[in-house]
Amino acid sequence: MLIQAAKNKSINVYDKKTMDKSACIHPCVHTEGSAVTINGPRFSTRCESFVHKAMGLDIVNMTLVPEVSLAREAGLSYASIAIVTDFDCWKADEEHVCVDMVLEQFRKSIVHVREILLEAVALIGAEDWTKTIEANKVF
């Protein structure tokens, strides 16, 4: 679910067919969760992070909007690959996030992201998405 705080509205952006394909690519695929998108580029303050956690949100990011909303309006299935770079907002004993920490985590994760993308492109190309796109058009 994507929560658009300004409108206090939830939009279901989950697509079972896309998620099932993703799950077979990598074992660390999460099929549920809530994200908040903040203006960036910047890191959340600890206070903001604790507020987001208290709201029941699972991840904080800067990149799902407007892409996810535009994809949904176009009837396109959408999947996001997120690299978790830090847990400083969930764990009081964690060091506060900095750019160097984020870049190091990206460096460690990029091999897995490449593998996921290569397999995903092959799986996506093997499907006829015509009916799915028509069914997705809800606006």
User: What's the rounded Cα separation, in Å, for the pair 44 and 54?
Assistant: 14
Question: What is the set of active-site residues?
Answer: 86, 88
Backbone angles phi, psi at 14, to 5 degrees: -75, 135
What's the token pair of residue 126?
A: 């093997």
**Which is nearest to 12 in space by CA: 33, 30, 27?**
33
Both structure tokens of 107:
């460096």
